[in-house]
Homo-oligomer: A and B are copies of this chain.
Amino acid sequence: MSVQREYASNMSVSMLSPFGARLCALGLPPETLEEIAACDPLLEEVPARSERRSAAPAGSFDVLLRGWAFRYRDLREGSRHIAGLVLPGDPCDIDAVEFGRSNVQLGTLTRCLVASFDGDAFRDLCDRSALVRQAVTRLSMAENAMLREWNLCLAHRSASQRMAHLFCELHVRLAAVDAADRDGYELPLTQVHLAELLGLTAVHVNRTLQAMRAEQLIELSDQQLTVRDWDALAALAEFRADYLEMERAAA
């Protein structure tokens, strides 16, 4: 391997740092990131508020490095389902790697930086490297766990509980990539986004937020969430962080 390649590779590793943090949180060894970085991803800036972009164009493996994005699907009669938020370090659509096609769209909330690995090259790498394949497996399973938990929320919990759960989950996930403060974080979502995510109407999201404000649980204005009482919020949501599989992350 030439010096240039090593140099280039190290550049990639540092570019990919939020993704590295994610892999590390999942208990994967650091060489995993190096092997993946050797695939030389295409770095792509996506403007804020963009929509209608396939989450993994041409079966590529896309990872968000900076910004907030979300996976969504349009429903009949103009409504929309937001299937999940994508934070720095998260794959945009992990399933596309194996099945070679994506069935979700990706939208951005803020300006984003995406690392896009060529699909075929990445699949080749998976076949050659047990570590990389394991990383994909764990990423998939981590998502699995989040989906399962969210399922439970949607099926059995009230609007305020879902909202509280979302806020708790986001705090843990953002903290893993150093994007949360002790008392809150930036939340670049409108109430309409929240509604599409929580399976509620925008009106009811508004009502629920008012109620949570009135109970001194949270403050939310200018895209900034401030949590006044974490314990009460977590209790309301019946939130336990363990399903996120991030216990291996630095404190």
Give complex CA distance A19, B137 in Å: 19
| Copy count, this protein chain | 2
Interface size on A, residues (CB 8 A): 38
Chain A residues 195 to 234 lying within 8 A of chain B, measured CB to CB, are 198-199
Q: List which A152-174 residues lie within 8 A (CB) of chain B.
A: 152, 154-156
- Give complex CA distance A147, B243 in Å: 15
Evaluate contact between A95 and B145: CB separation under 8 angstroms: yes
Once the chains bind, are B148 and A148 in contact (CB under 8 Å)?
Answer: no
**A136 within 8 Å of B by Cβ?**
yes
A144 contacts B145, CB within 8 Å? no
Which residues of the partner chain B approach A95 to less than 8 Å between Cβ atoms? 141, 144-145
Contacting A156 at CB < 8 Å: which of B94, B98, B138, B199? B199
CB nearest neighbor in B for A83: B148
Within the complex, what minimum Cβ distance (angstroms) separates A246 from chain B? 12
What are some 26 contacts across the A-B interface (CB < 8 A)? A75-B156, A76-B238, A79-B156, A81-B152, A81-B156, A83-B148, A94-B141, A94-B144, A95-B145, A98-B138, A98-B141, A99-B245, A127-B130, A130-B130, A133-B134, A136-B137, A140-B140, A140-B141, A143-B144, A144-B144, A147-B148, A151-B154, A154-B154, A154-B155, A154-B199, A155-B198
